[in-house]
A and B are shown apart, each in its own frame.
Chain A
Amino acid sequence: MLQLNQIHKIFNEGTPDEKIAIDHVNLTLKPGDFVTVIGSNGAGKSTLMNIISGVLIPDVGEVNIGGKNVTNMSEFKRSKMIGRVFQDPMAGTAPSMTIEENLAMAYSRNKMRTLRQGVTKKRRDYFREVLESLHLGLENRLSAKVGLLSGGERQALSLLMATFTEPSILLLDEHTAALDPSRAELITNLTREIVDKYKLTTLMVTHNMQQAIDLGNRLIMMDKGQIILEVNKEEKKQLTIESLLMEFKRIRGVQMASDRAVLS
């Protein structure tokens, strides 16, 4: 479904700040794969996400989605096939617009936008139905402005907006990191439910090792722009935080650098 071939990306090339963000990365996701990505700050996780979603264009390499080469396709065209949830709960929704209007915009993601009304009666019924699956009571607040929702509610809505049109790829960029533990757990559970329901091919970046172990069928660890560890389905079942940290130390010969990653 998703194929990355020899992706290489350098920031500030030719200046003293030159930094290799992604170092010849290869990654293939089969349909239905749910891959969690961990790694310390600056490992290149977010850059990888940005390259897949088209915010950044790789210096070298190829991005294939569904067998189609999309390396140079602009972000907005590509996002017909890619659902995305950002870390910041403010980023995934339009605050001054209502819940149903936000859903209507997500609804027309993979269609041509026309001069038809965005929210029709038929669509409203459908929105109510999909909102019920969040169990947050949002289905009764369709015409409330999204700016009035809490961070957790907004993130749940973003998750729904990213997924209910069943995109080919779902990208989750630390989407629970800005929430308190109970809300984060709620979103984690919703993520599991929704990905299961639509059988989405998913790539999830996280700082939370336990979350990375609990969710998905594959796990990759990144460091300094490289994928240094790949854990497949069978091995992943036996994985613990300790064994992951040990593994990192064994490969890199140093302690994992991120306090956040260790503590969570």
Chain B
Amino acid sequence: MFTAIFGSFEAGIIYAIMALGVYLSFRILDFPDLTVDGSFVTGAAISAVMIANGTNPFLATIMALFAGFAAGCLTGLLHTFGKINNLLSGILMMIALYSINLRIMGRSNIPLLNIDTAFTKISGIFEKTGIDSFFNSFFTMVGLGDSLPETWGILIFMIIVTFVIKFLTDLFLKTEIGLAVRATGDNKRMIRSLSANTNLLVVLGLGLSNALVAFSGALIAQQGGFADVGMGIGMIVIGLASVIIGEALFGTKTIARTTLAVIGGSIIYRIVVTLALRVDFLDPGDMKLITALIVILALTAPKTIEGIKERKRKALKRSERLNIAQTSGPVKGDNHVTIKSDS
């Protein structure tokens, strides 16, 4: 159980980077960008091929970031300069990327076993520092000794990386360019009248969004030990699930709060899926169905709960008003009578 939760926490924090990318396109730009399904694999493919060919895994991961940026920019160009509907331009790019990803990989699956990835390097460094043994002895003490993870390095490293990306995103969205990107999603006409090139801003925003998605894909490939051409299917829905769950649970008051919520949403989504898959009659193939159900639930539940609360509140108010009317009614009547007799 602990291992399962630990694993989903670790995966959740890596997928959180992808979810931040989806947040950029879906919420900030108001652009439901399906490129994500393709660019996630592009990131995984590029890093896997480069690592398998002996490139430094950190460099390979950074290259994935640039590839994602390029893919996102192309979707943006299709939409702005090609004047293609936003959903359709994402779908076109996603389909095109499927073939491109196959070309990059040369076959449909590249295993990364027994090769140095970013994570084997990190956990190697951590082993030397003794942090692993410290954590593990702590958890043995509290009685979880039988199911300890091999390394804490990946988790701690990924928490640092994800939060650095979160803070950079927060910072960027407050710069002059960042403000213009946000306004592009909020009120295009207004920001154009304030001398901003909305076409360029859409391209930039989608580029950044997909850069994060591909970066996340590269890391997931290294964590899982393979890149597969089908690993991106339904990725946009997972991203949306993370964004929606996070926003519903942790709120959206400020940008910093929302990006934190998205990370939280990604982790919670992973934990929910892991727990759901432990139920006997469900198998891994049902994961997409579970994802869809989670998203449907996250979209409908808040409204339903709000509706029930509202009805209760109104019923309470009504009964209060009725009480006041009943108690004050006769008094009014008395006054009326006295006034009448006076005249």
Q: B-contacting residues of A (Cβ < 8 Å)?
A: 53, 74-77, 79-80, 82, 84, 86, 90-97, 101, 104-106, 108-110, 113-119, 161-162
Contacts and interface: CB of A to CB of B under 8 A. Distances in A.
A96 B176 contact: no
B172 interface: yes
Nearest to A107: B176
Interface string B184-203: 00110111111111100000
Contacts of B182: 94, 96-97, 101
Given A76-B195, A80-B195, A105 B175 contact: no
A109 B190 contact: no
Given A94-B187, A94-B190, A95-B187, A76 B175 contact: no
Nearest to A111: B176
Interface in B163-190: 172, 174-180, 182-183, 186-187, 189-190
Contact of B190 (A92, A113, A116, A117): A92
Contacts of B195: 76-77, 79-80, 109-110
A95 B196 contact: no
B201 to A, nearest CB: 9
23 contacts: A74-B197, A75-B192, A76-B196, A79-B195, A86-B193, A92-B193, A94-B182, A94-B183, A94-B187, A94-B191, A104-B176, A105-B179, A105-B183, A105-B194, A105-B196, A108-B180, A108-B194, A109-B194, A110-B195, A115-B175, A116-B176, A118-B176, A119-B174
B175 A114 contact: yes
Given A53-B193, A76-B192, A105-B191, A117 B175 contact: yes
Nearest to B183: A94
Nearest to B177: A113
B314 to A, nearest CB: 24
Nearest to B176: A113
Given A94-B187, A115-B175, 12 more contacts: A76-B192, A76-B198, A91-B187, A91-B189, A91-B190, A104-B179, A108-B180, A109-B194, A109-B195, A110-B195, A113-B180, A115-B172
Interface of A is mostly: loop
A114 B176 contact: yes
A74 B194 CA distance: 13
Contacts of B191: 94, 105
Contact of A118 (B175, B189, B193, B194): B175
Nearest to B193: A84
Contacts of B196: 76, 105, 113
A75 B174 CA distance: 25
Nearest to B196: A76
B50 to A, nearest CB: 29
A237 B317 CA distance: 58
A74 B199 CA distance: 12
Contacts of A82: 193
A215 to B, nearest CB: 22
* A-B complex: 8 closest residue pairs judged by Cβ atoms: A94-B186, A113-B176, A79-B195, A118-B179, A94-B183, A94-B187, A80-B195, A84-B193
Contacts of B183: 94, 97, 105
A11 B208 CA distance: 39
B186 A79 contact: no
A118 B174 CA distance: 6
A93 B187 contact: yes
A242 B172 CA distance: 57
A96 B186 contact: yes
A83 B179 CA distance: 19
Task: Kindly name the residue among B172, B183, B193 whose own CB sees the greatest number of chain A CB atoms within 10 A.
Answer: B193
A157 to B, nearest CB: 11
A159 to B, nearest CB: 13
A86 B176 CA distance: 23
B179 A101 contact: yes
A97 B179 CA distance: 9
B247 to A, nearest CB: 13
A241 B190 CA distance: 34
Contacts of B193: 53, 75, 79, 82, 84, 86, 92, 162
Contacts of B186: 94-97
Contacts of A104: 176, 179
A162 B194 CA distance: 8
B53 to A, nearest CB: 35
A117 B171 CA distance: 8
A105 B174 CA distance: 11
A79 B194 contact: yes
A108 to B, nearest CB: 5
Contacts of B198: 76
A9 to B, nearest CB: 20
Contact of B194 (A97, A119, A161): A161
A75 B187 CA distance: 15
A106 B194 contact: yes
Contact of A93 (B172, B174, B175, B190): B190
Nearest to A158: B190
Given A76-B198, A110-B195, A115 B190 contact: no
